[in-house]
Structure 1
Amino acid sequence: MNLLPASLAGRTLLLVLAVVVVAATTIVSLIGEVRRSAHVAQTTQLVAGQIRLLQTVLPGLDASARERLARLPAGDGPQLQLMPDGPGVPSQEPDFGFGRRLAETLSEQLGEPISLRHINHPRGQPPQTDSSPPRGEPRPRSGLWIGFMAGSERWWLLLPPPRFEPPELPPQLWAGLALALALLAAIATIFVRGIVGPLARLGEAVDAAGDGAGRPVVPAGPSEVRHLAERHNGMLARLAAADAERREMLAGLTHDLRAPLARLRLRLALLASDEERAGLTRDADDMERIVSQCLAFLRSEAVAGTAPPLPIAAAISEAVARQQELGRPVTLLADAASADCRVAIDAAALQRVLDNLIDNALQHAAPPVELSLSVLSAAASPKFCLCVRDHGPGIAAADRERVLDAFTQLEPARATSGRCGLGLAIVRRIVAGCGGELTLGDAEDGGLVVHLRLPCTWPGGAVRSGERQCR
């Protein structure tokens, strides 16, 4: 399982924070080490001075003075306590770093070996053992026992636990580190946003270019990102120039074909044989149909969803009425919600969509062709749904995506009948330009059904009742 953030911004911010945390931890560790070293040196100076003083004073004191000196109360603070040698001295040697470092530095400063012992039990509750001193004698306290020679006698200085380690770092230091970390995180966020923001905009522009709606981006951010944006803009310019050249070439070709077609029709009218005239007329019709499809495909590239809202149900109803006047088996079923529905689509583009869908259904499938209008329920973005259903064999699921591509024909024989495989490609391009989607599916009782879903609105912006799912 990858625990790293998925986005570049998250990973960059995590890297910056990790570097800051490691640096702060290292600094705090170094400060602690310096404090511990200074504390050992300070404690060594204190203890060494006390030992030298006691080594000078103790040999000249009588027994009663020594006893009174050893019985002086030490209290609960961090001060040293003088203890005489005896059975109450602990036997355990210190096994922690402070004790070992103190023994080494004391031995170096005093020039003689130093004995250290350690005892650790609850303060004021020393354990009672056979070696415990008799009643009235000072009881051993928790701490570090430092043994030294004063004349011919051994004495012990008791170093209490508060002196073992330096004081904890002040809370103000931790608060300052936390504030500095938060400030660095904010600065890093602004810094990362300045890098990732231009990259995100460039990524959106690349996605748009992949969808056929390329747009240039303003170069921003680091020099590498700016150079990448400039290259992207240059690529878009070259693609636009190549696309314009292609469209101009195809448009000129189809335009130039119309003149020979007109002359061909004129010669056909002069032919005496009806049989020859009929065959050549069909060929001319096929050629003109191909030219018209190519022109329609080129015009569909300029279609976008910026047309004024069109009462689409009324426009479709008029188109179906014209089809029925020509004797074509086309029917229309519309629900109440679609009556006032408006879609931003050009009327001529909608006519090309309906002509292509109905012609495909009648020529490559079986009648009747059924059109149904409905509204796809959605509170945020309702969709107008047009379904065109035929009663033919349908299209296999594996071929439905491929048949939407330009110049694709599932049956090679169609290429000889004046068709060039642009009908559904024209429909998909127009629908995509209006912000909609086109899908193919199977009808419940056989046949192919084409679903068109387009963003729609109502007068006043309210969604009307009676909306239902597109079938």
Structure 2
Amino acid sequence: MRRPIDSLFGRLALLVVAVLLISHFAWFVLIRVERSQSQARYAVEEAAFLIDAVRQHVARTPSVPLPSRVRLVDPASPEVPAADQELPPALKRFVEDVRERLPPGSLVRVGAPGRPPILWVHEAADRDWIVVPMLALHPPRPRDKMLAWLGTIFSVAVMCALFVAWRLQQPLAALAGAVVRFGRGQSVPPLAERGPRELRELTRGFNQMVREVSRTEQDRAVMLAGVAHDLKTPLARLRLRAEMMEEAKLRDGVVRDVDSLAHIVDQFLVFAHDATDRSEPVVVDEQCERIARSYRAVAPGSPAVRTELAAGPDFRLPAATLERIISNLLDNAHAYGAPPVIVATARRTTGWELSVSDHGRGISPQDLVNASRPFVRLDPARGGNGHSGLGLAIVERLVRRLGGVCEIGNAQDRGLRVAMTFPFTTATRAAPHSESAW
């Protein structure tokens, strides 16, 4: 099961959201603290300014009455607050800040609780206590407009950051898809070099690698096709001369060897062929049943072929490709396996499955890795029976060309089993042309 967090975009999105969330929370806390400190500083400056204004008013215009909430109180009055009064932490810090703001030796006290906040100040040169109103200190509200603004900014920042992350991972996603297609043997057009500098260099290197590998494959295909094509005419003449021999035993042996060589040449041509199969898609179940009947009819001495077809009419593959796959696997089972040979189809959760299995000795585990390598014969003693070691390599190439996966292994009840899984979109990707490229 694919998880979104496993993708590059998912991890970038998670990182972006986490960083933005932490940064916005830090800014929110910092702004609240700074706003509280700014309010306290403003209240201290306002109190110092008001006290200085009262002192100047008394010194210059003593006959003019003071405002209603500003008054002078005799130090002996019982209204003077006690020096050891208990204050809340915020108010206690405010009193200390006012005392630091005033000249040294100043006394600062706060009026009795339950009344509007009143500040009592007495400096060394003052005759009376100066009583002035003070700005009330209100703690920041838990919910205010700042939360809404931060939420809006956070949402816009997340959307912009996710868009940038998506744009950054697009070239990498295209490169990953191209690597998967190239690994399956499908054609890969050159990728656009975009994105950061490192990604552009990686894409440029991948394009160069694809070109070099494609050029090497083309050279090998041309060489194999040329050699195989040039061998067809001498083989035809050799067969004709062999059939003209009078000794039957010698004639049969030479004809059998010529047929083996012709079969190897045909395998070379099929392996070298790299064109897209444009034959009409056919129902795999019906075509497998038809191939099995034909195989039993033309090769009565071959291992018995059974079919277990359960995929249904929706499983379709190009006719020529399917013919090559089944024929190569049946020939391989005939040469190396034991009856019965079972051709089976099924619909799995991962895609369509086509498998061919026999009941022979199978392949040793250490040889499974080399089973589909071209020109590798796991049974060297049978090198002269017309097998070139290309059968399974051709099957794997054809399967990969259709976007499928080929798995070669031993069945539970002995024997070799070749299981091919095709995506559900295989039939829809097949070209609708009727001509065969084979």
TM-score, normalization by structure 2: 0.73
CA positional deviation for 1:274: 5.6
Contact 1:387–1:449 (CA under 8 A) maintained in structure 2: yes
Contact 2:310–2:344 (CA under 8 A) maintained in structure 1: no
CA positional deviation for 1:453: 4.5
Cα distance change of structure 1 residues 375 and 244 upon mapping to structure 2, 3 Å threshold? same
Structure 2 counterparts to residues 311-460 of structure 1, below 5 A? 311-325=283-297, 326-334=299-307, 340=313, 343-347=316-320, 349-366=321-338, 368-376=339-347, 383=352, 385-443=353-411, 445-454=413-422
Deviation by residue 1:38-84 (Cα, 9 ceiling, x = unmatched): 752553343453366258759x99xxxxxxx9xx9x7xxxx999695
CA positional deviation for 1:247: 0.8
Q: Does 1:208 align with 2:178?
A: no
Q: Does 1:260 align with 2:260?
A: no
CA positional deviation for 1:345: 1.8
Cα distance in 2 for partners of 1:428, 1:22 equals 53
Counterpart among 172, 175, 180 of residue 199 in structure 1 = 172
Q: Indicate the residue corresponding to 1:248 in structure 2.
A: 222
Q: Which has the larger radius of gyration?
A: 1
What amino acid maps onto 2:387 in structure 1?
Answer: R
Unaligned runs of 5+ in 2: 428-438
Contact 1:93–1:118 (CA under 8 A) maintained in structure 2: no
CA positional deviation for 1:393: 1.8
Contact 2:108–2:122 (CA under 8 A) maintained in structure 1: no
Cα distance in 2 for partners of 1:290, 1:82 equals 121
Cα distance in 2 for partners of 1:414, 1:119 equals 111
Structure 2 counterparts to residues 216-235 of structure 1, below 5 A? 216=189, 219=192, 221-222=194-195, 224=197, 225=199, 228-235=202-209
Deviation by residue 1:175-225 (Cα, 9 ceiling, x = unmatched): 233322322222222222222223212221222122221422552754635
Q: Indicate the residue corresponding to 1:287 in structure 2.
A: 261
SS at match of 2:326: helix
Contact 2:16–2:162 (CA under 8 A) maintained in structure 1: no
What amino acid maps onto 1:186 in structure 2?
Answer: M
Cα distance in 1 for partners of 2:140, 2:149 equals 18
CA positional deviation for 1:226: 5.2
Q: Does 1:89 align with 2:82?
A: yes
Q: Indicate the residue corresponding to 1:237 in structure 2.
A: 211
Cα distance in 2 for partners of 1:92, 1:317 equals 102
SS at match of 1:400: helix
Counterpart among 113, 131, 134 of residue 105 in structure 2 = 113
Contact 2:376–2:389 (CA under 8 A) maintained in structure 1: yes
SS at match of 2:99: helix
Contact 1:48–1:106 (CA under 8 A) maintained in structure 2: no
What amino acid maps onto 1:352 in structure 2?
Answer: R
Contact 2:120–2:132 (CA under 8 A) maintained in structure 1: yes
Q: Indicate the residue corresponding to 2:432 in structure 1.
A: none
Contact 1:373–1:386 (CA under 8 A) maintained in structure 2: yes
Unaligned runs of 5+ in 1: 62-68, 125-140, 460-471
CA positional deviation for 1:338: 5.6
Cα distance in 2 for partners of 1:82, 1:295 equals 116
Deviation by residue 1:423-467 (Cα, 9 ceiling, x = unmatched): 12222222333344433455564433433445679x9xxxxxxxx
What amino acid maps onto 2:9 in structure 1?
Answer: A
Q: Does 1:180 align with 2:153?
A: yes
Relative contact order (C-alpha < 8 Å, sep 6+): which is higher?
2
Cα distance change of structure 1 residues 151 and 263 upon mapping to structure 2, 3 Å threshold? closer
SS at match of 1:245: helix
Deviation by residue 1:146-170 (Cα, 9 ceiling, x = unmatched): 541476756374766x634686699
Counterpart among 273, 280, 283 of residue 308 in structure 1 = 280
Q: Indicate the residue corresponding to 1:40 in structure 2.
A: 41
What amino acid maps onto 1:390 in structure 2?
Answer: D
Cα distance change of structure 1 residues 454 and 369 upon mapping to structure 2, 3 Å threshold? farther
Deviation by residue 1:247-267 (Cα, 9 ceiling, x = unmatched): 111100111222333343355
What amino acid maps onto 1:53 in structure 2?
Answer: V
Q: Which piece of structure 1 moves more, 202-211 or 84-93?
A: 84-93
Cα distance in 1 for partners of 2:50, 2:311 equals 101
Cα distance in 1 for partners of 2:121, 2:226 equals 110
Cα distance in 2 for partners of 1:80, 1:170 equals 38
Cα distance change of structure 1 residues 334 and 14 upon mapping to structure 2, 3 Å threshold? closer
Counterpart among 163, 168, 189 of residue 136 in structure 2 = 163
What amino acid maps onto 1:354 in structure 2?
Answer: I
What amino acid maps onto 2:216 in structure 1?
Answer: A
What amino acid maps onto 2:294 in structure 1?
Answer: R
SS at match of 1:163: coil
Q: Indicate the residue corresponding to 1:133 in structure 2.
A: none
CA positional deviation for 1:298: 2.3
Cα distance change of structure 1 residues 52 and 91 upon mapping to structure 2, 3 Å threshold? farther
Identity level (%): 28
Contact 1:407–1:422 (CA under 8 A) maintained in structure 2: yes
TM-score, normalization by structure 1: 0.69
What amino acid maps onto 1:313 in structure 2?
Answer: D
Contact 1:343–1:454 (CA under 8 A) maintained in structure 2: no
Cα distance in 2 for partners of 1:341, 1:157 equals 95
Q: Indicate the residue corresponding to 1:135 in structure 2.
A: none
Cα distance change of structure 1 residues 176 and 454 upon mapping to structure 2, 3 Å threshold? closer
Cα distance in 2 for partners of 1:49, 1:377 equals 86
What amino acid maps onto 1:375 in structure 2?
Answer: A
Contact 1:195–1:221 (CA under 8 A) maintained in structure 2: no
What amino acid maps onto 1:89 in structure 2?
Answer: A
Work out the number of aligned pairs and report it.
409
Q: Indicate the residue corresponding to 2:9 in structure 1.
A: 9
